Homo-oligomer: A and B are copies of this chain.
Amino acid sequence: MPAKDKVSEAVVRRLPVYHRYLERLEEEGVTRISSQELGARMGLTASQIRQDINCFGALGQQGYGYNVSELRRHIAEILGLGDDYGVVVIGAGNIGRAVASYTGFARLRFRVEALFDTDEARVGERIGDAEIHRLDALGAFLADHPIDIGIVATPAAAAQGAADMLVAGGVRAIWNFAPVDIAAPEGCAVQNVQLTDNLLVLTYHIHNDAPGGGA
Protein backbone atom coordinates (compact mmCIF):
# COMPACT_ATOMS: atom_id res chain seq x y z
CA MET A 1 0.00 0.00 0.00
CA PRO A 2 1.86 3.09 -1.16
CA ALA A 3 1.55 6.16 1.06
CA LYS A 4 -0.95 8.65 -0.36
CA ASP A 5 1.11 11.78 -0.04
CA LYS A 6 4.77 12.52 0.32
CA VAL A 7 5.65 11.59 3.87
CA SER A 8 8.41 13.52 5.61
CA GLU A 9 11.77 11.77 5.82
CA ALA A 10 11.72 12.22 9.62
CA VAL A 11 8.53 10.13 9.83
CA VAL A 12 9.96 7.53 7.43
CA ARG A 13 13.05 7.21 9.65
CA ARG A 14 10.84 6.56 12.69
CA LEU A 15 8.83 3.80 10.99
CA PRO A 16 11.44 1.05 11.47
CA VAL A 17 11.65 2.08 15.13
CA TYR A 18 7.87 1.71 15.50
CA HIS A 19 8.13 -1.66 13.84
CA ARG A 20 10.81 -2.83 16.28
CA TYR A 21 8.89 -1.67 19.35
CA LEU A 22 5.63 -3.22 18.12
CA GLU A 23 7.42 -6.52 17.42
CA ARG A 24 8.70 -6.51 20.97
CA LEU A 25 5.20 -5.76 22.33
CA GLU A 26 3.83 -8.71 20.30
CA GLU A 27 6.54 -10.95 21.80
CA GLU A 28 5.52 -9.75 25.27
CA GLY A 29 1.93 -10.69 24.48
CA VAL A 30 0.63 -7.10 24.57
CA THR A 31 -2.38 -6.88 22.24
CA ARG A 32 -3.41 -3.24 22.64
CA ILE A 33 -1.49 -0.06 23.49
CA SER A 34 -2.38 3.61 23.93
CA SER A 35 -0.41 6.39 22.26
CA GLN A 36 0.66 7.45 25.80
CA GLU A 37 2.16 4.06 26.67
CA LEU A 38 3.80 3.61 23.26
CA GLY A 39 5.20 7.14 23.52
CA ALA A 40 6.60 6.46 26.99
CA ARG A 41 8.41 3.35 25.70
CA MET A 42 9.80 5.09 22.64
CA GLY A 43 10.66 8.44 24.22
CA LEU A 44 8.12 10.34 22.09
CA THR A 45 5.03 12.31 23.10
CA ALA A 46 1.57 10.76 22.66
CA SER A 47 0.65 13.52 20.20
CA GLN A 48 3.78 12.79 18.12
CA ILE A 49 2.79 9.11 18.00
CA ARG A 50 -0.79 9.92 16.90
CA GLN A 51 0.48 12.37 14.29
CA ASP A 52 2.94 9.85 12.83
CA ILE A 53 0.42 7.03 12.69
CA ASN A 54 -2.23 9.30 11.15
CA CYS A 55 0.14 9.88 8.21
CA PHE A 56 -0.48 6.27 7.19
CA GLY A 57 -4.20 6.02 7.92
CA ALA A 58 -5.48 6.06 11.50
CA LEU A 59 -5.98 2.63 13.04
CA GLY A 60 -6.50 3.72 16.64
CA GLN A 61 -9.84 4.43 18.26
CA GLN A 62 -10.24 7.40 20.61
CA GLY A 63 -9.78 6.18 24.18
CA TYR A 64 -9.15 2.61 23.05
CA GLY A 65 -5.60 2.63 21.69
CA TYR A 66 -3.97 0.67 18.88
CA ASN A 67 -4.21 -3.01 18.08
CA VAL A 68 -0.51 -3.96 18.33
CA SER A 69 -0.48 -6.73 15.69
CA GLU A 70 -2.62 -4.80 13.21
CA LEU A 71 -0.45 -1.71 13.53
CA ARG A 72 2.75 -3.77 13.25
CA ARG A 73 1.50 -5.48 10.07
CA HIS A 74 0.32 -2.16 8.63
CA ILE A 75 3.76 -0.59 9.17
CA ALA A 76 5.50 -3.72 7.83
CA GLU A 77 3.45 -3.37 4.65
CA ILE A 78 4.30 0.33 4.29
CA LEU A 79 7.98 -0.53 4.80
CA GLY A 80 7.76 -3.10 1.99
CA LEU A 81 8.75 -5.89 4.39
CA GLY A 82 6.73 -8.56 2.57
CA ASP A 83 8.84 -8.18 -0.58
CA ASP A 84 12.08 -9.96 -1.54
CA TYR A 85 15.14 -7.81 -2.15
CA GLY A 86 18.22 -8.69 -4.17
CA VAL A 87 21.41 -7.13 -2.78
CA VAL A 88 24.97 -6.68 -4.03
CA VAL A 89 27.89 -5.48 -1.92
CA ILE A 90 30.68 -3.35 -3.42
CA GLY A 91 33.92 -3.77 -1.48
CA ALA A 92 34.77 -7.10 0.14
CA GLY A 93 36.93 -5.78 2.97
CA ASN A 94 36.00 -6.13 6.64
CA ILE A 95 32.88 -3.96 6.45
CA GLY A 96 31.62 -5.53 3.21
CA ARG A 97 32.09 -9.04 4.63
CA ALA A 98 30.48 -8.09 7.93
CA VAL A 99 27.43 -6.61 6.22
CA ALA A 100 27.14 -9.49 3.73
CA SER A 101 27.06 -11.99 6.59
CA TYR A 102 25.04 -9.89 9.05
CA THR A 103 22.69 -12.28 10.82
CA GLY A 104 20.13 -9.53 11.45
CA PHE A 105 19.15 -9.81 7.75
CA ALA A 106 18.26 -13.47 8.03
CA ARG A 107 14.67 -12.87 9.20
CA LEU A 108 14.17 -10.14 6.60
CA ARG A 109 13.92 -11.20 2.97
CA PHE A 110 17.27 -9.91 1.71
CA ARG A 111 19.41 -12.09 -0.51
CA VAL A 112 23.04 -11.01 -0.87
CA GLU A 113 23.65 -12.25 -4.43
CA ALA A 114 27.24 -11.15 -5.00
CA LEU A 115 30.12 -9.04 -3.72
CA PHE A 116 32.45 -7.04 -5.98
CA ASP A 117 36.03 -5.97 -5.36
CA THR A 118 39.00 -4.58 -7.27
CA ASP A 119 41.41 -6.87 -5.37
CA GLU A 120 42.11 -9.89 -7.62
CA ALA A 121 43.19 -11.94 -4.59
CA ARG A 122 39.62 -11.83 -3.26
CA VAL A 123 37.85 -12.76 -6.49
CA GLY A 124 36.21 -16.21 -6.37
CA GLU A 125 36.07 -16.36 -2.59
CA ARG A 126 32.61 -17.00 -1.08
CA ILE A 127 30.97 -15.09 1.79
CA GLY A 128 28.01 -17.25 2.82
CA ASP A 129 26.15 -18.06 -0.41
CA ALA A 130 27.58 -15.15 -2.38
CA GLU A 131 30.74 -15.07 -4.46
CA ILE A 132 33.21 -12.19 -4.79
CA HIS A 133 33.42 -10.95 -8.40
CA ARG A 134 35.75 -8.48 -10.12
CA LEU A 135 34.35 -4.95 -9.89
CA ASP A 136 34.42 -4.54 -13.67
CA ALA A 137 31.89 -7.39 -13.96
CA LEU A 138 29.31 -5.34 -11.99
CA GLY A 139 27.54 -3.79 -15.01
CA ALA A 140 26.99 -7.15 -16.71
CA PHE A 141 25.84 -8.71 -13.41
CA LEU A 142 23.25 -5.96 -12.83
CA ALA A 143 21.95 -6.39 -16.40
CA ASP A 144 21.31 -10.11 -15.72
CA HIS A 145 20.04 -10.06 -12.12
CA PRO A 146 17.17 -8.16 -10.49
CA ILE A 147 19.10 -6.24 -7.83
CA ASP A 148 17.26 -3.69 -5.68
CA ILE A 149 19.85 -2.58 -3.16
CA GLY A 150 23.56 -1.83 -3.54
CA ILE A 151 25.71 -1.69 -0.42
CA VAL A 152 28.83 0.46 -0.74
CA ALA A 153 31.66 -0.67 1.55
CA THR A 154 34.65 0.73 -0.33
CA PRO A 155 37.30 3.18 0.83
CA ALA A 156 36.10 6.82 0.80
CA ALA A 157 37.78 7.66 -2.52
CA ALA A 158 36.00 4.85 -4.41
CA ALA A 159 32.52 5.30 -2.92
CA GLN A 160 30.94 7.79 -5.34
CA GLY A 161 32.26 5.84 -8.34
CA ALA A 162 30.75 2.64 -6.95
CA ALA A 163 27.43 4.44 -6.39
CA ASP A 164 27.45 5.76 -9.97
CA MET A 165 27.95 2.22 -11.32
CA LEU A 166 25.04 0.98 -9.19
CA VAL A 167 22.78 3.80 -10.39
CA ALA A 168 23.76 3.12 -14.02
CA GLY A 169 22.79 -0.53 -13.44
CA GLY A 170 19.30 0.44 -12.26
CA VAL A 171 19.67 -0.16 -8.53
CA ARG A 172 16.85 1.57 -6.60
CA ALA A 173 18.58 2.11 -3.25
CA ILE A 174 22.12 2.50 -1.93
CA TRP A 175 23.28 1.83 1.59
CA ASN A 176 26.63 3.55 2.05
CA PHE A 177 29.14 2.53 4.73
CA ALA A 178 32.13 4.40 3.26
CA PRO A 179 33.21 7.26 5.56
CA VAL A 180 32.01 9.93 3.08
CA ASP A 181 28.51 10.96 1.98
CA ILE A 182 27.51 9.92 -1.53
CA ALA A 183 24.85 11.37 -3.80
CA ALA A 184 22.45 9.70 -6.24
CA PRO A 185 19.88 11.10 -8.68
CA GLU A 186 16.16 11.15 -7.80
CA GLY A 187 14.67 7.68 -8.09
CA CYS A 188 17.57 6.12 -6.17
CA ALA A 189 17.31 6.39 -2.36
CA VAL A 190 20.54 6.73 -0.36
CA GLN A 191 21.27 6.07 3.30
CA ASN A 192 24.69 7.20 4.40
CA VAL A 193 25.62 5.33 7.58
CA GLN A 194 27.45 7.77 9.84
CA LEU A 195 29.04 5.43 12.36
CA THR A 196 30.95 8.18 14.10
CA ASP A 197 27.75 10.17 14.89
CA ASN A 198 26.79 7.29 17.09
CA LEU A 199 30.17 7.18 18.77
CA LEU A 200 30.11 10.92 19.51
CA VAL A 201 26.86 10.50 21.44
CA LEU A 202 28.91 8.24 23.74
CA THR A 203 31.82 10.68 24.08
CA TYR A 204 29.22 13.36 24.96
CA HIS A 205 28.03 11.22 27.86
CA ILE A 206 31.54 10.34 29.01
CA HIS A 207 32.43 14.04 28.93
CA ASN A 208 29.26 15.41 30.54
CA ASP A 209 27.69 12.81 32.84
CA ALA A 210 28.88 12.28 36.38
CA PRO A 211 30.74 8.93 36.63
CA GLY A 212 28.71 6.20 38.24
CA GLY A 213 25.59 8.34 38.50
CA GLY A 214 23.02 10.48 36.70
CA ALA A 215 23.78 13.56 34.58
Contacts and interface: CB of A to CB of B under 8 A. Distances in A.
Interface of A: 2-3, 6-7, 9-10, 12-13, 15-17, 19-20, 43, 78-81, 83, 85, 93-95, 97-99, 101-105, 108, 110, 148-149, 155-156, 172-175, 179, 186-187, 189, 191, 193-215
Given A103-B179, A104-B195, A179-B102, A189 B205 contact: yes
A187 B3 CA distance: 42
A56 B6 CA distance: 34
B13 A201 contact: yes
B105 A101 contact: no
Count this chain's copies in the assembly.
Answer: 2
Most B CB contacts (10 A, CB to CB) among A10, A175, A187, A207 go to A207
Contacts of A199: 105, 108, 110, 149, 175, 191
Nearest to A5: B215
A198 B197 CA distance: 14
Nearest to A19: B200
A121 to B, nearest CB: 17
